[in-house]
Amino acid sequence: MLLSFISLIAYYRILKLLKTKKINNKISVKDALLQLLKIYFTDIGDRTIMAETPKKAGELAEILDQKPELFPKSVPI
């Protein structure tokens, strides 16, 4: 029951963010989460890097004012 409550809070926080950016009629909370879940981190030796970000996930992150440097276009090796 506690997990359901926490999930409900997270859902409505994301919905509020989508409403403030006025894109809630274009993308649902579920779709936003599915796009952002496509961002992967990879451990190589002693450092962690982010894998290449899909175009839609990067665009959504920019619309939601997420830090663009967190979403590189290519992975440095």
Instruction: Give per-residue pLDDT as tens, 23-76.
Output: 999 999 999 988 888 877 787 888 877 778 888 888 888 888 876 555 555 555
**In this predicted structure, what is the pLDDT of residue 22?**
93
Q: Give the Cβ contact number of residue 71 at 10 Å.
A: 19
Q: Give the Cβ contact number of residue 60 at 10 Å.
A: 21
Token pair listed for 39: 């961002």
